[in-house]
Amino acid sequence: MIKVGILGATAYTSLELIKILLRHTGVEIAYLGIRRDEKPAISEIFPALEGRIDLKCKGIEPEDVPGDVKLIFATLPPTIAMRYIPGIVKLGVRVVDLSADYRFKEKDVYEKWYKAEHVDPDGIKTAVYGLPELFNNEIKNAQIIGNPGCYPTGTILGLAPLLKNGLIYSDDIIVDAKSGISGAGREPTDTTHYCERNENIEAYKVGCHRHTPEINHILSRVAGTDISIFFTPHLTPMSRGILNTTYAKIKDGVSHNDIQNVYDEAYQDKTFARVKTKGKLPRVLDVANSNYCDISFNIVDNRVIIVSCIDNLIKGAAGQAVQNMNIMLGLDETMGLL
Ligand SMILES: NC(=O)c1ccc[n+]([C@@H]2O[C@H](COP(=O)([O-])OP(=O)(O)OC[C@H]3O[C@@H](n4cnc5c(N)ncnc54)[C@H](OP(=O)(O)O)[C@@H]3O)[C@@H](O)[C@H]2O)c1
């Protein structure tokens, strides 16, 4: 069993990681780091884990990491993760970072959107964007993985085959996304308060959400040309799940079959990207608690309307992180995830 750990083990995404790793037959959780002064057993923080794991938490400094740990998942907030990850890498430990700190190649773009100086510029040069359906080969040998954001995962998987094959125009792409509240993490705020969310749906950060540059950055790489999407996220009264509806203009003569063919080519051997058969649409309920991204498309006049759907905590975070770990460790990509 390969020993792995979690830095920031009190996070929502950490609970999901622990649940997945406990049913994984190739790895064992050997380290759980938390910043709190008290270091209880993890089941005291997450009662759902009672009787399943009794590991006591430790601190989050490099010296707290046991010497036999080979890979660590960082579930710290953006701008915080990059303060700890270089110390972990110095130990020779590989890292899958769930924050945004290693998703960008351009330091200035990160700094503009995250309003903090990037303190590990060497790390971002070598880090790999961990979207396995697109970048599997690069992930294998990475020291640091920047695990994709939740909105970007579904959006990019929906658009990438069409942009890569030039079937849609690269301008005028509109993404309308709806997320469950766990996307905002564990700490309650005014906007995540039950009374604000229950029986309510609202748009937020119109045109200025931090996932916009991440989506543009990766889609530009895939398309080989600059992409700038219009992105409007919404908060919905669900605990988990994201549904993206994406509108793009198709090029003259592009048919339903052409689009079906590029999706088939891109995803037919990719377990976790499921393209729905004609007439069927993705639903949050069908991907909840799973690592699947469900995708559908419909042509309406000169537009294709793509619907893609994930569980933000699994394919949008912990599940995708384990998928990346499996690839890094040379294990079957699906281990622990089916
Ligand atoms: N939630 C999602 O759907 C989702 C999806 C994709 C990516 N992500 C990313 O994954 C990471 C974890 O997300 P989450 O939603 O699971 O987070 P979360 O539930 O809000 O937990 C955040 C974790 O970071 C710790 N922390 C906060 N401030 C810290 C500081 N200054 N120094 C050290 N530790 C600190 C917290 O410790 P305490 O418990 O002691 O406060 C907690 O362990 C974030 O970077 C997030 O952006 C989240």
CATH of domain 2-126: 3.40.50.720
CA distances from 283 to 177, 242, 293 (A): 13, 9, 10
Atom of ligand 1 nearest to the CA of 149: 6
Atom of ligand 1 nearest to the CA of 76: 24
DSSP-derived 3-state class of residue 58: strand
User: What confidence score (pLDDT) does residue 205 get?
Assistant: 96
User: What confidence score (pLDDT) does residue 330 get?
Assistant: 98
Which portions of the chain are predicted below pLDDT 50? none
Ligand 1 contacts CB of residue 150 (under 6 A): yes
User: What confidence score (pLDDT) does residue 188 get?
Assistant: 87
Return the bridge partners of 277, or none. Answer: none
User: What confidence score (pLDDT) does residue 316 get?
Assistant: 98
% of the chain surpassing 90 pLDDT: 98
% of the chain surpassing 70 pLDDT: 100
Q: Which residues of 229-263 are buried (b: 16+ CB within 10 A; e: fewer)?
A: bebbbebbebebbbbbbbbbbbeeebeeeebeebb
Among candidate residues 150, 208, 293, 309, the one labeled active-site is 150
Ligand 1 mean position, distance from CA 307 (Å): 28
Domain 150-311: give its CATH superfamily.
Answer: Dihydrodipicolinate Reductase; domain 2 (3.30.360.10)
Q: Cβ(255)–Cβ(313) under 8 Å?
A: no
Ligand 1 contacts CB of residue 308 (under 6 A): no
57 is catalytic: no
Ligand 1 contacts CB of residue 182 (under 6 A): yes
State pLDDT tens for residues 48-75: 999 999 999 999 999 999 999 999 999 9
Atom of ligand 1 nearest to the CA of 78: 45
The residues near 203 (Cβ < 8 Å, ≥ 6 apart) are 232, 233, 234
Q: Which of 16, 32, 75 to probe ligand 1 with, by most ligand atoms within 8 A of CB?
A: 75
User: What confidence score (pLDDT) does residue 305 get?
Assistant: 98
Ligand 1 mean position, distance from CA 76 (Å): 4
Ligand 1 mean position, distance from CA 110 (Å): 18
Ligand 1 contacts CB of residue 187 (under 6 A): yes
Tell me where in the chain the CATH 3.40.50.720 domain(s) lie.
Answer: 2-126
Q: Which of 6, 12, 13, 242 to probe ligand 1 with, by most ligand atoms within 8 A of CB?
A: 13
Q: What is the mean pLDDT of the chain?
A: 97
Atom of ligand 1 nearest to the CA of 36: 40
- CA dist 51 and 2 (Å) reads 22
Single out the residue of 79, 217, 204, 87 nearest to residue 148, CA to CA. 217
Ligand 1 contacts CB of residue 96 (under 6 A): no
Ligand 1 contacts CB of residue 39 (under 6 A): no
Tell me where in the chain the CATH 3.30.360.10 domain(s) lie.
Answer: 150-311
User: What confidence score (pLDDT) does residue 191 get?
Assistant: 87
Long-range contacts, stretch 160-164, CB < 8 angstroms, 24+ apart: 160/133, 160/134, 160/219, 160/222, 160/266, 161/262, 161/263, 161/265, 161/266, 161/267, 162/248, 162/259, 162/262, 162/304, 162/306, 163/219, 163/222, 163/223, 163/227, 164/222, 164/223, 164/262, 164/266
Q: Which of 6, 10, 291, 293 to probe ligand 1 with, by most ligand atoms within 8 A of CB?
A: 10
